Homo-oligomer: A and B are copies of this chain.
């Protein structure tokens, strides 16, 4: 194999749906994922939603003979859920946490608590430096009225920028993960356009699996059928993207997805389908254009403009929310001051008589304190959100300027 000029790399990517106490058959499925990784000859496994560190440890123990190196990325309250198993030694790791990621009060969605991030591991195979990125973006809960779209667009932009800035020392860039975006969504067009990364489904020589490469399909017994009613064939939101820089070329020889159940089993690995890509890396003379040089194409300008508009919509919403919270805090404070004055006055035997029953008065006071604390904290939260969205919008403006300058010079 060492003398073969072509390096073959087999990648396994899966959103494992490993939420403790909530995900069905979690332990059985983690067991199955461990089995497939240890029996099939993958070189890299990029996993998301491994929320339990116990599950990670179990996988690590099971896979230690085949995958010499692994890394679990920690962030947020319950961990990022991201981990990587590699047959080759991991030389370095780095984590970038997205600046916006939903709302802490949307507990039923819970994305905020995971501290959504992109993890980078650097590996070296036969002197070729691989920058391998694994990520999971904010989920889309309602496509028609997607309140999280601006946050997801910001995450896609930060992901693109992070790859763009960190990949310059690499020969090959790989990105795997649940991007929570359909293939033609603005975020993924921005990511592909800005970094030059290629979608393995679009460029594979051979494909086998769900129609259109879907990774969330109605045939999977764990998917929410109601959420899939507008997409009878399913949707594609899990990706393996790749790119060769410097003097290498990379091709996708084959791409396979599971099809609702794990091969030879009745149960799927997860509510998502696994994506398995076989890539070929080869040395070549000429240099391929890499992320060090974003291609100035009119289409990219349109995409960036579209993304910027989404960020502006998010900014407008965040400013409104900050204003509402601020106003609520001021009202709660006024109520509290008024109550304090009335309470003091009646205590000191003043002329003002207490007009309310004592219980209502106490409950009202309690409500005011809770409202003041909660709206104060939320006002801080939305202020940070506003700053981050303003910063992104400004960054995008600068990027557009640079692109348009390149286009006018071309």
Q: How far is the CB of A187 from chain B (nearest CB, A)?
A: 18
- A383 interfacial by beta-carbon distance below 8 Å: yes
- A79 interfacial by beta-carbon distance below 8 Å: yes
Residue from B77, B169, B394 in contact with A387 in the complex, judged by beta carbons closer than 8 Å: B77
* Chain B residues within an 8 Å CB radius of A347: 359
**Does A387 lie within 8 Å of B165, measured CB to CB?**
no
- Closest Cβ neighbor of A73 among chain B residues: B391
Tell which of A12-20, A88-96, A304-312 binds the partner.
Answer: A88-96
**Does B168 lie within 8 Å of A75, measured CB to CB?**
no
Residue from B71, B91, B99, B399 in contact with A97 in the complex, judged by beta carbons closer than 8 Å: B99
Q: How far is the CB of A4 from chain B (nearest CB, A)?
A: 26
- A68 interfacial by beta-carbon distance below 8 Å: no
**Does A74 lie within 8 Å of B169, measured CB to CB?**
no
Q: How far is the CB of A307 from chain B (nearest CB, A)?
A: 16
In the bound complex, what is the Cα–Cα distance between A87 and B373 (angstroms)?
46
* Chain B residues within an 8 Å CB radius of A402: 91-92
- A390 interfacial by beta-carbon distance below 8 Å: yes
In the bound complex, what is the Cα–Cα distance between A50 and B364 (angstroms)?
42
* Chain B residues within an 8 Å CB radius of A97: 97, 99
In the bound complex, what is the Cα–Cα distance between A398 and B71 (angstroms)?
9
In the bound complex, what is the Cα–Cα distance between A25 and B125 (angstroms)?
59
- Closest Cβ neighbor of A377 among chain B residues: B377
* Chain B residues within an 8 Å CB radius of A91: 402
The count of chain A contact residues (Cβ–Cβ below 8 Å) is 50
Q: How far is the CB of A167 from chain B (nearest CB, A)?
A: 8
Residue from B74, B77, B365, B399 in contact with A394 in the complex, judged by beta carbons closer than 8 Å: B74
**Does A77 lie within 8 Å of B380, measured CB to CB?**
yes
- A265 interfacial by beta-carbon distance below 8 Å: no
In the bound complex, what is the Cα–Cα distance between A365 and B92 (angstroms)?
51
* Chain B residues within an 8 Å CB radius of A374: 373
User: In A40-57, which residues have CB < 8 Å from any B CB?
Assistant: none
- A358 interfacial by beta-carbon distance below 8 Å: yes
**Does B165 lie within 8 Å of A388, measured CB to CB?**
no
- Closest Cβ neighbor of A389 among chain B residues: B74
**Does B93 lie within 8 Å of A75, measured CB to CB?**
no
In the bound complex, what is the Cα–Cα distance between A14 and B330 (angstroms)?
37
In the bound complex, what is the Cα–Cα distance between A90 and B399 (angstroms)?
10
- Closest Cβ neighbor of A170 among chain B residues: B168
Contact mask for chain A residues 166-178; partner B; CB cutoff 8 A; 1 contact, 0 none: 1011000000000
- A161 interfacial by beta-carbon distance below 8 Å: yes
**Does B365 lie within 8 Å of A76, measured CB to CB?**
no
Q: Which of A79, A161, A166, A358 has the most CB of B within 10 A?
A: A166
**Does A384 lie within 8 Å of B92, measured CB to CB?**
no
- A369 interfacial by beta-carbon distance below 8 Å: yes
Q: What are the 10 tightest A-B residue pairs by CB atom distance, in nearest-first order?
A: A168-B169, A74-B391, A362-B362, A168-B168, A165-B166, A74-B387, A77-B383, A169-B292, A373-B373, A74-B390
Instruction: Show the binding face of A for B, using Cβ within 8 Å.
Output: 71-77, 79, 90-97, 99, 104, 115, 120, 161-162, 165-166, 168-169, 292, 347, 358-359, 362, 365-366, 369-370, 373-374, 377, 380, 383-384, 387-388, 390-391, 394-395, 398-399, 402
* 18 interchain pairs, CB-CB under 8 A: A73-B391, A74-B387, A74-B388, A75-B387, A75-B388, A77-B384, A92-B398, A92-B402, A93-B398, A94-B165, A94-B395, A95-B395, A115-B387, A165-B165, A347-B359, A362-B365, A362-B366, A366-B369
Given A71-B394, A73-B391, A92-B402, output 6 extra A-B contacts at Cβ < 8 Å.
A76-B387, A90-B398, A93-B398, A165-B165, A362-B366, A377-B377
